[in-house]
Amino acid sequence: MGEPALEVRGLRHTFHGGGPNEMRALQGVDLALEPATFVVVVGTNGSGKSTLLNAVAGSFVPEQGSIRVAGVDVTRAPEHARARSIGRVFQDPLTGTAPHLTIAENLALAEQRTARRRGLRRAVTRGARRALAERVAALGMGLEDRLDAPMALLSGGQRQALTLLMATLVRPDLLLLDEHTAALDPSSAGQVLRLTQQAIDRDQLTTLMVTHSMQEAVRLGDRAIMMHQGRIVEDFSGARKRRLRVTDLLDCFEQVRNADQLDESAAEMLRLAYV
């Protein structure tokens, strides 16, 4: 078996360390994704799921641990360097694109992610426009006739669909999806999710998707991970993932919550015993 597409080992990070707002966001996270695996990460607010995604993307350097993408150690690599091998779609449709540039210009920039920088005018040639129009037409939104429209004029769903296309235009070693439908209306969210699944299936993309939706965690992907207080507390794969239901996730959440309450009670009893 070859190198994992993503390998995270012993990842730890604390925000506001030593202060009243200290938050241990990651507490020894270990995670490996085999190539062409679609993993969904679910958890409550503050569970560490988005922090994990940001660490992999390079938004910050973790205090401890290592991150390898396609066998390359990127733990301390800046975010722009990782963009050559990582595609990302953010929660906010306004993030990830240049609003003052046209659809064609945004896509041309995305296409150059793994190449040496070239000027925009040179990138958007007639031949390039035809190829880009074909890719945009596949979205089924009628945007192939609006390649010269500024991104700022598009709806949230249209922008998110194009951001997904930009993230996968050059096949990435890893695709990161950060609650990328949470800000969309139900119809647009459903359309973007369909396009997401199509892109993953077509190019056999290794994907790490963070979601707050238990329905999505059950329905999507071939593996589901639950995080709580900076740790991975459950990992559903294989037959367990195929059998997974929302009620199973709710039961798991309840078990974790009850365990926390027991831990807090034990700590309080220990404290009182030494007063």
pLDDT tens, 126-180?
777 888 999 999 999 999 999 999 999 999 999 999 999 999 999 999 999 999 9
- Report yes or no on whether pTM surpasses 0.85: yes
pLDDT tens, 91-136?
998 888 899 999 999 998 888 876 655 555 545 677 778 889 999 9
Residue 57 inside a domain? The answer is no
Provide the pLDDT confidence category of residue 268 given band limits of 50, 70 and 90. very low
What CATH number did the domain enclosing 75 receive? Answer: 3.40.50.300
Q: Is the pLDDT of residue 216 over 50?
A: yes
The number of domains in the chain is 1
Residue 246 inside a domain? The answer is yes
pLDDT tens, 185-198?
999 999 999 999 99
Residue 134 inside a domain? The answer is yes
204's enclosing H/E stretch is: none
Residue 229 inside a domain? The answer is yes
DSSP string, 12-47: EEEESTTSTT-EEEEEEEEEEE-TT-EEEEEE-TTS
Residue 263 inside a domain? The answer is no
Residue 273 inside a domain? The answer is no
Residue labelled with tokens 């991150």: 67
Residue 270 inside a domain? The answer is no
pLDDT at 86: 96
Q: Which two tokens stand for residue 50?
A: 């988005």
Residue 48 to residues 160, 172, 226, 228, 233, Cα–Cα distance (Å): 24, 24, 10, 7, 11
Residue 24 inside a domain? The answer is yes
Question: Which residues lie across from 226 on neighbouring strands?
Answer: 42, 234
Which residue range(s) make up the domain with 227?
A: 6-47+63-258
